[in-house]
Amino acid sequence: MNTKKLGAGLAAVALVAGLAACSSGGTDTPGATTGQKLTMLIGSSGDAETSAVQAAADEWAKSSGNTVEVVAASDLTQQLSQGFAGGTPPDIFYMGWDQFGTYAQNKYLDPYAKDLSNAGDFYKSLKDTFTYKDTFTCAPKDFSTLGLIINTDMWKAAGLTDADIPTDWAGLESVAKKLTTDKVAGLSFGLEYARVGVFMSQAGGSLVSADGKTVTADTPENLAGLKEVQKLHDDGVLKFPSEINSGWSGEALGKGAAAMVIEGPWIKGIKGDFPDTHYQAVELPAGPGGQATFTFTNCWGIPTGAKTSAAAVDLVKFLTSDAQQLKFADAFGVIPSTESAAKEYATKYPENASFVKSNDYAVSPVNFAGSATVITDFNAQLATLIGGNAKAILASLQTTLQAALDEANSK
């Protein structure tokens, strides 16, 4: 009697474990493009994005006889890596530019994009971002570039006109000075590679040589870029978001703590919290090395060796078509990744035309395998930029990035 009870208890534990083991398996038919159940993991900017992606997926699912469940991740990187390590990666997912190299190197990604029928339609810079060892791996989903976002009311109040829109660093310094008051910082952006890096590029700098073998971080050009940031801050016209009590510079713009910020098209997200802030996006000013900005992009990742990959590729084709990309643009403001759709987008949304235009000369931030940890370290070191030694920061970046590059190239 007593033994039975105990035995039953043990059996229950074993049963729970067993059941769970079974349920995580699956009954997919390999290679089929119909009758599949797909899970899509996205890093959503909000409800608008989630529901638009779900609607598009449903449309494809209906016409192709599949089902798609769209899951919005709270922390995309973490959920993706746990999914892969747990043996249950999503069938299709957003793959950020910064993690792409690491994922491609570890063979997590199915290099399906080279065979896509619309592979030639994407911007070259975007295709380069998602090319690993000369193989175009996954299809760019959309892109964003950085621009100068100006609070138009403050602009007018300071007596500035369209003619004053800065085209070089001197112009930027001068308008920032005019816009700065006791309560308002003339310019604000986050103290991180993804913002500071554009100054380095504008000064003519880069991080990796054209042949992809040598790191070129510790150069006079990059130093000039960092020095410009230091100068703006020393002049009191640049404040970082944390200095004006904001989580990011868009928040600072929204609540009127900053008159200009360097952000991307996602700036429209502040509409909800700060509906009364009027702003305008223009291209970033040129530095001594010419015009430069960063382009950020995601691709549609498909896990390697998945039974659902044929269906997932079909879904990507549908999602990256010009018509569907323009629908996404309408719903949550992303810029299409194909040149033709982007041009159409620029006409339809003139307020964002500057972001599209600047993609012609934009560069992708460094993203080879293993560079992400180095960039995290660089960001940490940038925290000491103000009042610190810019040259030492670059020297340290040079060493660590070169080590990471050598390791990446050796694999």
Can you tell me the distance from the alpha carbon of 44 to that of 149, in angstroms, rounded to the nearest whole number? 23
Q: Does residue 112 belong to the site contacting other proteins (CB under 8 A)?
A: no
Q: Does residue 17 belong to the site contacting other proteins (CB under 8 A)?
A: yes
Residue span 37-56 as binding mask against other proteins, x where in contact by CB under 8 A, dash where not: ------x-xx----------
Can you tell me the distance from the alpha carbon of 257 to that of 181, in angstroms, rounded to the nearest whole number? 10
Q: Of residues 86, 120, 212, 220, which one binds other proteins by CB under 8 A?
A: 86
Can you tell me the distance from the alpha carbon of 266 to that of 355, in angstroms, rounded to the nearest whole number? 11
Quick check: 52 and 331 in contact, CB under 8 A? yes
Q: Does residue 75 belong to the site contacting other proteins (CB under 8 A)?
A: yes
Q: Does residue 323 belong to the site contacting other proteins (CB under 8 A)?
A: no
The alpha carbons of the chain give a radius of gyration, in whole angstroms, of: 24
Q: What residue type is 36 in one-letter code?
A: Q
Closer to other proteins by CB, 326 or 331: give it.
Answer: 331
Can you tell me the distance from the alpha carbon of 228 to that of 234, in angstroms, rounded to the nearest whole number? 10
Q: Does residue 245 belong to the site contacting other proteins (CB under 8 A)?
A: yes
End-to-end CA gap in the chain: 62
Q: Does residue 87 belong to the site contacting other proteins (CB under 8 A)?
A: yes
Element (DSSP H or E) covering residue 72:
strand 67-72
Closer to other proteins by CB, 159 or 387: give it.
Answer: 387
Instruction: Give least dist CB 244 to other proteins, A.
Output: 9
Which residues 370-409 are close enough to bind other proteins by CB under 8 A?
Answer: 372-374, 376-377, 380-381, 383-384, 387, 389, 400, 403-404
Q: Give the interface segment with other proteins, choosing from 27-35, 52-60, 220-228, 265-273 (CB under 8 A).
A: 265-273
Can you tell me the distance from the alpha carbon of 411 to that of 406, in angstroms, rounded to the nearest whole number? 9
Residues, the chain, total? Answer: 411
Closer to other proteins by CB, 122 or 378: give it.
Answer: 378
Quick check: 364 and 196 in contact, CB under 8 A? no
Q: For the chain, give percent helix, strand, coil, nearest 5.
A: 50, 15, 35
Which residues 299-318 are close enough to bind other proteins by CB under 8 A?
Answer: none
Alpha helices in 158-266 (DSSP H): 169-179, 193-202, 220-234, 249-254
Q: Does residue 236 belong to the site contacting other proteins (CB under 8 A)?
A: no
DSSP 14-40: HHHHHHHHHHTS--PPTT-SSS-EEEE
Q: Does residue 256 belong to the site contacting other proteins (CB under 8 A)?
A: no
Can you tell me the distance from the alpha carbon of 184 to that of 158, in angstroms, rounded to the nearest whole number? 12
Can you tell me the distance from the alpha carbon of 221 to that of 203, in angstroms, rounded to the nearest whole number? 5
Instruction: Give least dist CB 266 to other proteins, A.
Output: 6
Q: Does residue 204 belong to the site contacting other proteins (CB under 8 A)?
A: no
Q: Does residue 72 belong to the site contacting other proteins (CB under 8 A)?
A: yes
Q: Does residue 333 belong to the site contacting other proteins (CB under 8 A)?
A: no
Tokens of 89: 């990666």
Instruction: Give least dist CB 217 to other proteins, A.
Output: 13
Closer to other proteins by CB, 356 or 385: give it.
Answer: 385
Tokens of 75: 């922390």
Q: Of residues 33, 77, 321, 364, which one binds other proteins by CB under 8 A?
A: 77
Interacting residues with other proteins (CB under 8 A): 1-3, 5-6, 9-10, 13, 16-17, 19-21, 23-25, 43, 45-46, 71-75, 77-79, 81-88, 102-103, 106-108, 242-243, 245, 247-248, 250-251, 266, 269-270, 273, 372-374, 376-377, 380-381, 383-384, 387, 389, 400, 403-404
